[in-house]
């Protein structure tokens, strides 16, 4: 299959919005130390850029989840592939994810981490596809709300490829 890409959100728009999110997160966590949890692999690019705009002290940890495999739609089954390296009890925690569509993965992660008794727990996503939501979950910080289309780039992949693109593109066949 030959892939066709159309730019949906360019690199400049992303950079500007990520800076705004970093400022908002910093303002909301003034006087706190933050544990920022990136969800591998898709959130790595967003997380890397975002933490450079957060001005409160922070630590970074990672979790790995699978619900897609090589498909373009979630399987609905969330599998924990890598857990945190440290406890988060009593900590102010921010989950950073690349995209929320069905909401199943982020809802699962939120409940899992909430059960570990953090002082606070918030979520930041680069992209939100509310049309696809299968849960009542709403992220605290959203970069962009997008229509129901399959997107790649800026950390998002198709079959483990195209994460390196500096923009978010729409995959068209």
This model's pTM is above 0.75: yes
- What fold, for 11-149? Rossmann fold (3.40.50)
Provide the annotated active-site residues.
Answer: 101
> β-pairing, 168-172 with 4-9?
antiparallel
What confidence tens digit (pLDDT) does each residue in 117-150 have? 999 999 999 999 999 899 999 999 999 999 999 9
Alpha-carbon distance 135 to 157, whole Å?
Answer: 23
Ramachandran angles phi, psi of 34, nearest 5°: -115, 140
| Domain ranges (residues) in the chain | 11-149
What confidence tens digit (pLDDT) does each residue in 9-39 have? 999 999 999 999 999 999 999 999 999 999 9
Please choose, from the candidates 33, 21, 4, the residue with its C-alpha nearest in 3D space to the C-alpha of residue 124: 21
């Amino acid at each position: 299959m030959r892939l066709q890409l159309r730019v949906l959100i360019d690199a400049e728009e992303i950079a500007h919005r990520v800076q705004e999110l970093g400022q908002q997160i910093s303002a909301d966590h003034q006087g706190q130390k933050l544990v920022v949890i990136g969800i591998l692999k898709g959130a790595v690019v967003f997380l890397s850029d975002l933490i450079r705009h957060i001005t409160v002290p922070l630590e970074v940890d990672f979790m790995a989840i699978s619900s897609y495999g090589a498909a373009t739609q979630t399987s609905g089954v969330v599998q924990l592939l890598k857990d945190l390296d440290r406890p988060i009890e009593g900590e102010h925690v921010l989950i950073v994810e690349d995209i929320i569509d069905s909401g199943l993965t982020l809802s699962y992660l939120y409940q899992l981490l909430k059960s570990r008794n953090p002082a606070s727990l918030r979520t930041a996503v680069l992209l939100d596809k509310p049309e696809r939501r299968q849960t009542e979950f709403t992220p605290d910080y959203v970069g962009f709300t997008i229509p129901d289309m399959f997107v790649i780039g800026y950390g998002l992949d198709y079959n483990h490829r195209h994460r390196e693109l500096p923009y978010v593109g729409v995959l068209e066949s």
